[in-house]
Structure 1
Amino acid sequence: MAGFNNFNNPQVAALPAHLKQFIVDQHYEHYTPIDHAVWRYVMRQNYSYLKDVAYYPYIPGLEKAGLTIEKIPSLQEMNDALGKIGWGAVTVDGFIPPAAFMEYQAYRVLVIAADIRQLNHIEYTPAPDIIHESAGHAPIIADKDYHEYLSYFGSIGAKAMFSAQDFELYEAIRALSILKEMPDADAAEIKKAEELLTYRQENMGEPSEMALLSRLHWWTVEYGLIGTLENPKIYGAGLLSSIGESSSCMDCGIKKIPYTIDAVNYSYDITTTQPQLFVTPTFQNLIDVLETFANTMSFRRGGIYGLQKAIDSKNTCTAVYSSGLQVSGTFTGFTQHKGLPVFIKTTGPSALAVDNKQLKGHGKDYHKDGFSSPVGKLKGHALPLEDLGVEELNYFGIEKGKIAELNFESGITLTGYVMKIHASNGKTQLIAFENCTVTDKDGGEMFKPEWGVYDMAVGDKIVSVFCGAADKAEFLEIAYKSNTATHHTVYDQNTKELHKLYQQVRNRRQTGGDFGFLGNVWMMLQKHHQDDWLCALEILEILDHEGVELNLADEIRTFLENKANTQPEFKKLIKDGFYLIKHPVEQKLVV
């Protein structure tokens, strides 16, 4: 990627090309004074409330993540801080596909949505934003047990099988979240998007591995509680970044359930408050549950189960032979015998690899029409073919430069001229034949001499099947990217003038000076921006703390009290703002 900024962070620098494609510039200069005020309000509310209900590393974790209460963090500041604990951060444009999100975690890189929520969605936004991603995810990274879980989850999630329905659901979620964050979204469009999301959720069929893993991710990383059912603490980023739900989640009306593998049976809706939450006694329990689920996945089960999952996914997948040879491509069929796969087939560009490194000459350009090969033991051989060295292979008539005949226990027969034998890690993995014929147990032709060189994979079993190519860099696997663009607000002149007023208040708070000047700001708010409440609240905060302009402070307080009483949507926000004026955040405890 030309001009890629790695922020001098080793974790970010190590990202492969297929993940770098999602990265966008933060464009810090695009954040408006209102954006910074929204960040400050949410962070002060979070600090005030979360110091009592968040899992203990949250507050010191803010500092370790490079976050401050006063302003939106820059990616450089975050990477400078996170680098000290072996993590990094990049900005992306809204939701990215779950498989890519998981893989970032495996590389120990936090994915941060570059945008910030609108003022009218200050309590919660269904769209990922920088408050959720940085103030939610980053502080808890400071806990070693937790970040070990997060990266381990990512490494497992990166191998999970996903389906076409997963992508359709992802697109529906992305589209709805973007619409809901737009300040002038059409109600009919939102309703249509909600109906599509509901339809997709109700027509997923059997959940894929990725869909089930996403549930475990949701109920832990996003909405997890830790401790006891009677006294849980918050560690999930969705709760840590929502000033509304971080409070309401502790209500007795929200059911608390011990976190076990049963959590995979609970689907979730990103657009509504969660009806139940799961409580883990320790972060080690999260790893134990994840391990239980991982044992059911294709990458650990392999065999017929894994190959069928690969076929169902209709995506690039990798089957791993017991010899260590990895076959990557779109799997379209397999033959079984006595409950085991004895022949596998891909269609379209395929590649062969060992240890996730593509074998020279065996990329998808060479295997452009697909790949097929037997699996299993030779008839009458006690040892698997993969365990035979060169001398032993020669003894059984498999010698470079000579014609060999292989008879498999499954009934498959291969006859051909041995061109090359590839072995590594003490295993024979691949034999290339010329003038080769392969037939099944009924004599049906599976490969003809005129088709060219036949590369036969060697291996007794298919021990693992996972989503994606073994060597993603060589396979040039372009991960799925959405065509639905996020919304970027174009500000009218009136809003630009409001930005200036917020900036003037910010300047007075930071540098002091003529506090009487705030009366002019208040006058302009009253004249042109009667709907605003946050700028007015910030003026009142300064006047109250400085003990100046008491009449002006009374006037603003009365205005805000009236707004809270007549406009219910502002009541909690203004009430919470008043509370923080009387109980200011102790800045010395935060960065």
Structure 2
Amino acid sequence: MMETTSFTVPDITVRKNVGLDHAADFTLPQPLERYSAEDHQTWATLYRRQCEMLPGRVCDEFLAGLEALAIDADRVPDFARLNLKLAAATGWQIVAVPGLIPDEVFFEHLANRRFPVTWWLREPQQLDYLQEPDVFHDLFGHVPLLMNPVFADYLQAYGLGGMKAKDLGALPLLARLYWYTVEFGLIDTPQGLRIYGAGIVSSKSESVYSLDSDSPNRIGFDLLRIMNTRYRIDTFQKTYFVIDSFQQLFDATAPDFTAYYRQLQGVAAHAAGDVLPQDRVFHRGSRAGWAETDDI
């Protein structure tokens, strides 16, 4: 994951990386020897409880990718082993990084079909919430969908677009697109709404909230609407955007965004919980329990 706001490196990130050096692109060899028995047990706990609850909630493409990768259930996976299957399927690979990395580095990795994965794992007391991404969020949440050719192409296109957006001063707009799709997106299927965003897939509580709670809005995908909508980093989302298909995502990312950035320049952003007259509303939230802290 990239740094989407001003960011101070958390203590856990500093502690986990003591004595490790990374390259200029923030990659490092996965330090397999650093995973303790407790780490492997924590991974097994997280993996088991998500796999028990996700069928009927997550999209079929995620489950297919998880099965095809044969991700280890009882220990932190070896990235090199997963890369053999990932590269053969879609030409992607995962690279170990110390934690959140600068925007321009993140985009360059995506543009070259490399997905940065934080190598270290949260601690047992943090099973239910960790603000910064760890290996469970990055690997379990993101990597299975990289086995899907259309989603894999979308993420590369996003990386290419990000490199240009930084030069145009439009990163906040693109960050919102990533947040509401790759991290917290829902997809409409013949069986009903399903999860595909990694921030939901890797979270037990948000896997339930995003689909079952009456509180949040669920609104149809609209590229410019999303790029002009603030989001939450400290609570569950107030709004989830719903795509019709991964092809819709890819097609929406194909055009040059320069004209979109100009169109949105100087336009006030919508609040995270707004419902607009033109929205395609799957569900209008009750707003129960919404935090009053600021949106990003």
TM-score, normalization by structure 2: 0.75
Matches within 5 A, 1:517-536: none
Relative to 1, partners in 2 of residues 1:96 and 1:297: Cα closer, same or farther, differing over 3 Å? Answer: farther
Matched, 1:153 2:158: yes
Matched residue pairs, number? Answer: 239
Deviation at 1:233, TM superposition (A): 0.8
Does structure 1 conserve the Cα–Cα contact (< 8 Å) formed by 2:151 and 2:250? Answer: no
CA deviation string 1:133-165 (max 9, x = no partner): 1100111112111111111111111211358xx
The structure where strand makes up a greater share of residues is: 1
Matched, 1:22 2:26: yes
Hey, what's the Cα distance between the residues in 1 that align with 2:102 and 2:260? Answer: 19
What SS class does the counterpart of residue 164 from structure 2 fall into? Answer: coil
Does structure 1 conserve the Cα–Cα contact (< 8 Å) formed by 2:25 and 2:105? Answer: no
Relative to 1, partners in 2 of residues 1:291 and 1:19: Cα closer, same or farther, differing over 3 Å? Answer: farther
What SS class does the counterpart of residue 60 from structure 2 fall into? Answer: coil
Deviation at 1:109, TM superposition (A): 1.0
Hey, what's the Cα distance between the residues in 2 that align with 1:242 and 1:269? Answer: 15
Deviation at 1:54, TM superposition (A): 0.7
Does structure 1 conserve the Cα–Cα contact (< 8 Å) formed by 2:187 and 2:245? Answer: yes
Does structure 2 conserve the Cα–Cα contact (< 8 Å) formed by 1:66 and 1:81? Answer: no
Residue in 1 that maps onto 2:39: 35
Which of 114, 117, 132 aligns to 1:112? It is 117
Does structure 2 conserve the Cα–Cα contact (< 8 Å) formed by 1:54 and 1:235? Answer: yes
Deviation at 1:91, TM superposition (A): 0.6
Hey, what's the Cα distance between the residues in 1 that align with 2:23 and 2:209? Answer: 36
Does structure 2 conserve the Cα–Cα contact (< 8 Å) formed by 1:255 and 1:276? Answer: yes
Does structure 2 conserve the Cα–Cα contact (< 8 Å) formed by 1:160 and 1:297? Answer: no
Residue in 2 that maps onto 1:283: 246
Hey, what's the Cα distance between the residues in 1 that align with 2:205 and 2:196? Answer: 15
Residue in 2 that maps onto 1:92: 97
Deviation at 1:55, TM superposition (A): 0.7
Deviation at 1:292, TM superposition (A): 5.5
Unaligned runs of 5+ in 1: 1-17, 164-207, 306-591
Greater Rg by CA: 1
More displaced stretch, 221-230 vs 248-257: 221-230
What SS class does the counterpart of residue 284 from structure 1 fall into? Answer: helix
Matches within 5 A, 1:342-491: none
Matches within 5 A, 1:173-572: 208-227=169-188, 231-250=192-211, 251-261=213-223, 262-291=225-254, 294-296=257-259
Unaligned runs of 5+ in 2: 1-21, 264-296
Hey, what's the Cα distance between the residues in 1 that align with 2:190 and 2:101? Answer: 33
Hey, what's the Cα distance between the residues in 2 that align with 1:114 and 1:281? Answer: 33
Deviation at 1:218, TM superposition (A): 0.7
Does 1 or 2 have the higher relative contact order (CA < 8 Å, sep 6+)?
A: 2
Does structure 1 conserve the Cα–Cα contact (< 8 Å) formed by 2:232 and 2:238? Answer: no
Residue in 1 that maps onto 2:280: none
Hey, what's the Cα distance between the residues in 1 that align with 2:239 and 2:197? Answer: 13
CA deviation string 1:201-234 (max 9, x = no partner): xxxxxxx411100100110011111116992111
Amino acid at match of 1:73: P
Residue in 2 that maps onto 1:101: 106
What SS class does the counterpart of residue 204 from structure 2 fall into? Answer: coil
